[in-house]
Copies of this chain bind each other. A is one copy, B any other.
Amino acid sequence: MLTLYGMPDSGNCYKPRLLLAKLGRPFRHVQVNSVSGETRTAAYLAKNPNGKVPLLELDDGRRLAESNAILLHLSEGTRYLPTDAYQRALVFQWLFFEQYSHEPYIAVRRALLKYPARADQATPDRMAHLLDAGHGALGVMETQLRVSRFIAGDALTVADIALFAYTQDAAFAGYEIARFPGVTAWLDRVRADEGHVPLDWLP
């Protein structure tokens, strides 16, 4: 059986949980708390030298890190990853957008507000920068979601799962989500898609 190492309230860790739930694929979940340092122990670093969750362990013990790489691996051959070469490429594009232009702002601002241990890093300058850059990311999504139902086309793909993970908490993180009606409607479409489970769902 698959084993997923992850933190229940992390959006990055939620991504593979949501996909596995939608696929109806059983897995074992092992809680690893990155905020309290459990990803930096020698035992964990032997599993993932980059010291991050989520981490997927396959039946045969081989491992795979990086939430979006896990999404791509698990979605191959399913309806969540297109077969057409250009459609697949657009899914890749939005997955890299998520990790480079979205998560470093929206997920980070959420974490700074959510975890008291990180409050000293939440300087006014940093919070203002994260707000501005995150609004920029939401604006890029809005431009796309005015012309397509899902982020990479007409059907929900792993790119939607990746972007949903932290966009669902954008309001909590201080973003003016009402300025982005296309994004707001898309959040509802993702939630309404078959097999959806919330952030705190565990197997």
Q: A85 on the interface (CB 8 Å rule)?
A: yes
**Count of chain A residues near B, Cβ 8 A:** 34
State A64–B72 Cα separation when bound (angstroms): 18
Q: A92 on the interface (CB 8 Å rule)?
A: yes
B-contacting residues, A47-93, CB 8 Å: 49-50, 52, 58, 62, 64-70, 72-73, 76, 85-86, 88-90, 92-93
Asked if A92 contacts B68 (CB within 8 A), the reply is yes
Asked if B86 contacts A144 (CB within 8 A), the reply is no
Q: A181 on the interface (CB 8 Å rule)?
A: no
Q: A99 on the interface (CB 8 Å rule)?
A: yes
Choose from B64, B95, B104, B139 the contact partner of A104 (Cβ within 8 Å): B104
Chain B residues with CB below 8 A from A73, complex form: 85-86, 88-89, 92
Least CB distance from A8 to B in Å reads: 21
Asked if A49 contacts B93 (CB within 8 A), the reply is no
B-contacting residues, A133-164, CB 8 Å: 139-140, 143-144
For A48, the closest partner residue in chain B by CB is: B140
Asked if B86 contacts A49 (CB within 8 A), the reply is no
State A7–B64 Cα separation when bound (angstroms): 33
Residues 33-44 of chain A: 1 if any B CB is under 8 Å from the residue's CB, otherwise 0?
000000000000
Residues of A within 8 A of B (CB): 49-50, 52, 58, 62, 64-70, 72-73, 76, 85-86, 88-90, 92-93, 95-97, 99-101, 103-104, 139-140, 143-144
What are 27 A-to-B residue pairs whose CB atoms are below 8 Å?
A49-B143, A49-B144, A50-B97, A50-B140, A52-B101, A58-B86, A62-B86, A64-B86, A66-B96, A66-B100, A67-B96, A68-B96, A69-B89, A69-B90, A69-B93, A69-B95, A69-B96, A70-B89, A72-B89, A73-B85, A73-B88, A95-B96, A96-B96, A96-B99, A99-B99, A100-B104, A104-B104
- Interface pairs A-B: 3 shortest CB-CB: A69-B92, A73-B89, A66-B96
